[in-house]
């Protein structure tokens, strides 16, 4: 499987925090499986930017419903993404993969403050760059942070890793008859209100022509097969490829 040509040179991989958790804050067994998939890509000389959410620890949008100020809740959520980023960095180190954690807010001892030029240098020198802290501002999701970083590093594709195998017209858990899409345009997602990503993220990718691939990361080997050109999950782009 690994002898086939790699289609991409540089990608942005977006992970949800929940994918690390299972029924707990951290499931190290699951986290290690994810890290092994990422490490396999790195060994193929692919340049990888990585954004992970913090939903396994806390979500500002949820705790704000309990009366906590939304901006404060989002600041807590940004810290949660940093905790997850440091976990991934530690696990990738066990796989002998060099990484750099860049934070959207200065957090002493938890990485470096994000600078685009430094980020590009790290990618070119073979480091996986883990972007922590979202955008650094409240009211923006880590999906939007992933879209922003994808544009800033000139990623060829934004990979949205989920627990389902693509975008459906209905929730496939509640509706077994739900139909999965192989391809959608950006406008299809926006007008159909398919909640696969924050709509701000979809709009930003549309404006900057960054295709999005939505797929099930827990399918063993899926990540490698996608970068080798297999049509796994759902592709979101301006036009359907020939």
- The domains of the chain are located at 10-237
In tens, the pLDDT along 89-127 reads 999 999 999 999 999 998 888 899 999 999 999 999 999
- β-partners of residue 160 are 14, 214
pLDDT mean over 162-179: 90
In tens, the pLDDT along 5-50 reads 889 999 999 999 888 876 667 888 889 999 999 999 999 999 999 9
- Ramachandran category for residue 153: left, alpha or beta (phi over 0 → left; psi -120 to 50 → alpha): alpha
pTM: 0.94
pLDDT of residue 18: 86
Spatial CB neighbours of 234, under 8 Å, sequence gap ≥ 6: 166, 167, 180, 181, 182, 183, 184, 196, 213, 214, 215
In tens, the pLDDT along 213-238 reads 999 998 889 999 999 999 999 999 99
What CATH number is given for 10-237 in this structure?
A: 3.40.1160.10
């Amino acid at each position: 499987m690994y002898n086939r040509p790699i289609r991409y040179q540089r990608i942005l991989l977006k992970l949800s925090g929940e994918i690390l958790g299972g029924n707990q804050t951290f499931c190290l067994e699951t986290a290690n499986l994810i890290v092994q998939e990422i490490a396999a890509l790195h060994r193929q000389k692919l340049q990888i930017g990585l954004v992970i959410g913090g939903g396994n620890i806390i979500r500002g949008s949820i705790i704000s419903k309990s009366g906590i100020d939304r901006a404060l809740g989002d600041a807590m959520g940004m810290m949660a993404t940093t905790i997850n980023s440091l976990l991934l960095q530690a696990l990738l180190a066990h796989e002998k993969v060099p990484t750099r954690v860049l934070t959207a807010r200065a957090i002493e001892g938890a990485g470096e403050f994000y600078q685009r030029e430094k980020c590009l240098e790290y990618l070119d020198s073979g480091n996986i760059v883990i972007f922590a802290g979202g955008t650094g501002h409240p009211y923006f999701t880590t999906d939007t942070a992933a879209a922003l970083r994808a544009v800033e590093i000139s990623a060829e594709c934004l990979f949205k890793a989920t627990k389902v195998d693509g975008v459906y017209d209905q929730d496939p858990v509640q509706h077994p008859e739900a139909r999965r899409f192989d391809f959608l345009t950006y406008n299809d997602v926006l007008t159909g209100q398919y909640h696969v990503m924050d709509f701000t993220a979809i709009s930003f990718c549309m404006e900057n022509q960054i295709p999005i691939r939505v797929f099930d990361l827990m399918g063993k080997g899926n990540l490698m097969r996608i970068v080798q050109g297999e049509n796994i999950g759902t592709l979101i782009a301006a036009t359907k490829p020939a």
